[in-house]
Amino acid sequence: MNIQKEILENINTRYVLLNKKNNVGYHIIDKLRKTIVMIDDPYINVDAIVNKMLELKVIIYNTIDELPNAIELPIENKNATEEFRIFIKKIFGVNGLETGSIVTALTHKQINREEKFKMEKHIEHYAFNVLYPGEGLNLYSNIESDTASIVVIKGINNLPSVDAKLFNW
Amino acid sequence: MIIRNSSDLVRAYFAYGPPKVAAWVDFLPEDFVIRILTNHFKIEFAVIFTNRNTGYHIYTGRSSYVEIPISNVEILLKHSHPMGTPHPSKADHDWLVLAQSIGSPQKQSVILPHRRERVSFRISTPFLT
């Protein structure tokens, strides 16, 4: 997702504005991480994004002290990263092309809903960055609360579809 | 996996992908490590040193931006520009101004543009608007 879309879709839930010193403009802030968004792409018109945010009634903070504490924090002082094993089953379409994968975490004990959610976040991140980098993906979580598993489908709009009707009993 | 040096770091990133927010390492990642990661993932990375803490954070960005914590103890040592822009952006400049305005001792920082020489910048450096 590009940054413009991401910011405009997450106004106030994640992205807010901070008044610059002497009120000469605004910094775009990710309030969940308490970070400043440094847009380095010269093709992106940051002023236009800020204007659009103002139009959409974004929350404006005047000082840094007013910003809430960060919720999403980096992993602190760990030498060993936590690992868990996963297995990946590839899914192929009728034309033999890979359409996605089922990624499931292997756990030695039963996991609860919270652990499942955390593991699935890792799997989601892995799918976007390692399995299918730079591709638009649709992710479906396993409905079982003790199974951390995600179905990753890429290029969902290109898949063949069949229309059907469902009766609302 | 234990990350003890730059090659472990690159291996971990290649195997698991970059972390969502940032990774912590107890050694300073060299320029070429950040360049390798930027080149591979086509996204920005920023190396931050926190005063009074040991180690370094490598913040994970996206293709056009990276998020840097707002605090007077965070020192932005370097960050990459995957597009290869050899100048600070307005946001880079603004970050330095903001950091100094809240008491950060940071005077300058470094940009690692893709396939170009490293560039250091200060508040007075001309930036792209």
* Cβ neighbours of A80 in B, within 8 Å: 1-3
What's the sign of the alpha-carbon dihedral A39, A40, A41, A43?
positive
Distance from CA of B25 to the nearest CA of A (A): 7
Q: What sign for the dihedral angle of Cα B108, B113, B119, B125?
A: negative
Distances (CA, A) of B19 to A127, A129, A133, A137: 12, 9, 14, 18
In this complex, the residue of B1, B16, B66 whose CB is nearest that of residue A38 is B66
Mutate to test the interface with A, among B21, B50, B100 (most CBs of A within 10 A): B21
Among B19, B46, B61, beta carbon nearest to A75: B19
Q: Give the three-state DSSP class for B77.
A: strand
First CA to last CA across chain B, in angstroms? 42
Q: Per-residue pLDDT averaged across B16-44, rounded?
A: 90
The proportion of chain B whose per-residue pLDDT surpasses 90, expressed as a percent, equals: 42
Q: How far apart are the first and last CA of chain A?
A: 38
Q: Which residue carries 């990375």 as its tokens?
A: B45
**Average pLDDT of the residues in B22-28:** 89
Pick the residue of B67, B73, B111 with the most A CBs within 10 A to test the interface with A by mutation: B67
**What is the pLDDT averaged over residues A101-113?**
88
Query: pLDDT (tens digit, 9 = 90+) per residue, A130-152?
Result: 888 777 788 999 988 888 999 99
Per-residue pLDDT tens for A25-35? 899 999 988 89
CB-count exposure of residue A28 (10 Å: 0-12, 13-18, 19+): buried
pTM of the model: 0.75
Bridge partner residues of A61 (DSSP): A18
Q: pLDDT category, A77, cuts 50, 70, 90? A: low
Residue B80's closest CA among B68, B96, B94, B66?
A: B66
More confident residue, B79 or A72: B79
